[in-house]
Structure 1
Amino acid sequence: MSAQPEITQRDLRMRSKEIMDAVENGASFTVTRDGHRIGELIPLRKRRRFVGRDEFAALSRTAAAVDLEVFRADQEAAVDQSPRDPYDR
């Protein structure tokens, strides 16, 4: 059994504004058709796209130091740097 409320496809069609408003506010639903569960409506995770300068500075103070030589060696080991013919399959 689903932990979230079930709504029928018809409910979704008839009450779409109400249901989508609920999803926008954090609610989740399982959608059914002919008594069978066919999908879930879940809110998208909200991603922050901007971190302020002060917050970035505070986070940076506690970040581990990066050894540039070790970092470059890791890159070299992970990527094949040899040239290849783009037309060679």
Structure 2
Amino acid sequence: MSAPHSTVLSVTFESSDRARRIERSVRPEIGAIDGDRTTATLSRDGDTVEVLVSADDLVAVRAGCNTWLTLLGTAERADDAVRDAEGL
């Protein structure tokens, strides 16, 4: 797919451990939720997680960004809940 439109979602966390947990949490979605118009790649460098969303059109880029922002937010809340339950 040639994707003339793309954007990078870059999130920096307070530690590389938290970034790794978030990255591992959302990694299974790479490829699983790509559609006909949108693809995503995921990377982590230290405490920063990046998602590159590429699409054929701007509406698809926006939809992809919304999806990945939701996934990242959910992963953060789940990580918080686990850490609270463990007393960390």
TM-score range, shorter chain: under 0.3
Name the larger-Rg structure: 1
Kindly indicate which of the two structures has a greater share of residues assigned to helix. Answer: 2
- Structure (1 or 2) with the greater strand fraction: 2
Higher relative contact order (CA 8 A, sep 6+): 2
